[in-house]
Amino acid sequence: MVVSPRSERIGGLVILLIGLGIAGQSFSYPLGSLNNMGPGFFPLIAGLAMALLGGLVFWKVPDAGQPMEGGRLSLRPALFVFAGLLAWALLLRPAGLILATVAMALLAAFAYPRPNPVRIAITVVILPVLGWLLFIYGLGMPMRAFPW
């Protein structure tokens, strides 16, 4: 199966427009400052990043179609990534940020047909530590790192 450049450009344009919409909607909340971020700050940054990535996809699509790996669409990646996000959301309060993030990373790793154990181990160590550093230590968000 060949993915057409036109469909990739349309996808990039959709991501760009959604990102701009999120960024525009963020102005209905107080932005705050870098030292004291308001509720609109993160959606603004996330929307702009999304718009930038969508713009890059739209602008940098090659002219010729690229063959898809395997030749057919698979639901496996979407199901495992969704399962990882759901596990994180359900485990965050009872298990804490670290264990919820480990569960998310492990489930999402199985989106690949043959998961790489080294890559999984690195992700399972680095991602929870970065989450703790950013959200609990850096931003001081009121959440537990562990259930105890």
Same domain assignment for residues 81 and 67 = no
- Could you tell me if 80 and 43 lie in one domain? no
Instruction: Report pLDDT for 66.
Output: 52
Q: pTM for the complete prediction? A: 0.57
The predicted pLDDT at position 49 comes to 92
- Is the domain of 134 the same as that of 144? yes
Domain that holds residue 20: 1-73
The structural domain count of the chain equals: 2
pLDDT of 32: 87
Question: Are 66 and 84 a contacting pair, CB within 8 Å?
Answer: no
Q: Are residues 69 and 83 in the same domain?
A: no
- pLDDT per residue rounded down to tens, the chain (148 residues): 455 666 778 888 899 999 999 999 999 999 888 788 888 898 899 999 999 998 988 887 665 455 555 556 568 888 998 999 999 999 999 999 999 999 999 999 988 888 889 999 999 999 999 999 988 888 788 888 888 8
Residues 23 and 68 in one domain: yes
Q: What is the pLDDT of residue 89?
A: 93
Evaluate whether 28 touches 40 at the Cβ level (below 8 Å).
yes
Which residue(s) pair with 111 in the sheet?
none
Q: What is the DSSP code string of 63-123?
A: SS-EEPTTSS--SHHHHHHHHHHHHHHHHHHHHHHHHHHHHHHHHHHTTSSS--HHHHHHH
89 shares its domain with 58: no
